[in-house]
Chain A
């Protein structure tokens, strides 16, 4: 039953992504100013949204782990698995953002990269979470969960500071498309529709991967636990 559910969800996700691709490339009109290259927004912005949401999941997991690690050990393990899964899948989506961004920027602004608030924040966020994953790789033993959770909290604290410091420094990225000034924003209903479908498709796909990664991490934890128990039993 569970397998059928997973298969159905995966098929629905793939169908959504194909539909989203069709909407983005064939249905939505060209942008008035940017022309065809503008269509990269249907991949760039959803990936960024997924990445930020998953980093938030990772932060909640880190906080949950630290809060529960003394009392509810089982909850703490679940929280830690969410923290790993969120960070790892978030880094993948963040990488997509950092690759699609310069491609778009080269056509729209004429430059690959600029030290703007949102670009810098995304890059620093990516660096912080890569260092988080490195710490998990390098540090061994049961303490790694605590250390990683602390680093996760430090990283999350850093992000608003990076954002504000760059905002004061210089900013080139356009004002937010949604909730920006009255002149900005998507007006064309077909564009909005294509955007909505792609947002949905990429979130469905991201959550699919996130839950898979979460389950893998839980399995890892269970095997580690069993091995520890066996080692204890062998000693007795």
Chain B
């Protein structure tokens, strides 16, 4: 943790604190997805437990894409991005600051959404509920770390808003699978989620390391 990282992180948190753009739009979008799925599938009883993990994950995934695009798009105005590229600090610190800020935003959205979700899907957790506090942050980290990286990668292309989900979702698939299976295992209490938690940990370690190593390459690409 160095000063550059703190500066970037505090700046992003301050912007969000004043505008509340990212959290509000994500929250409303995720709520819409949850309601739409609830209408479309009419979940009841055991069926709702089976699909709940998947719905929660897909809702967060769609919602976070819009916020992740904004995370870098707001730096384009007033050539802030160019200034950041010229700054004599490693790009990895900027990247990590963005990931931490967005991780916080998405986590807040999940915490607010969870009660709504439990009510709408009539859920009762059969397994170890505290494990959810491990699975959700791990999956969110996987989504946000990769998402921030690919948002930076696609920022200077045409159709960047469209490009981010197109390149993020295929790479995110194993983490999605692990998160859905772990959540379902916890909600139904029928199987052991530990294997999927390990997979999520491995995915997070591998992709965060590679992102940190390669961030300078894409950030200074010309």
Contact = CB atoms under 8 A, between A and B. Distances in A.
Nearest to A147: B153
Contact of A147 (B173, B202, B218): B218
Interface stretch (A94-102, A136-144, A185-193): A136-144
A211 interface: no
A138 B221 contact: no
Interface residues of B, number: 32
Contacts of A139: 154, 156-158, 163
Contact of B173 (A138, A146, A162): A162
Contact of A131 (B170, B181, B202, B206): B170
Interface string A127-164: 11011101100111111101100110111011001101
B150 to A, nearest CB: 8
Nearest to A131: B167
Interface string A100-140: 00000000000000000000000010011011101100111
Interface string B96-121: 00000000000000000000000000
B207 to A, nearest CB: 7
A165 interface: yes
Contacts of B154: 135, 138-139, 147
B204 to A, nearest CB: 11
Interface in B206-222: 206-207, 210, 214, 217-218, 221-222
B82 to A, nearest CB: 14
A32 to B, nearest CB: 36
A140 B158 contact: yes
Interface of B: 150, 153-154, 156-160, 162-163, 166-167, 169-171, 173-174, 177-178, 181, 195, 199, 202-203, 206-207, 210, 214, 217-218, 221-222
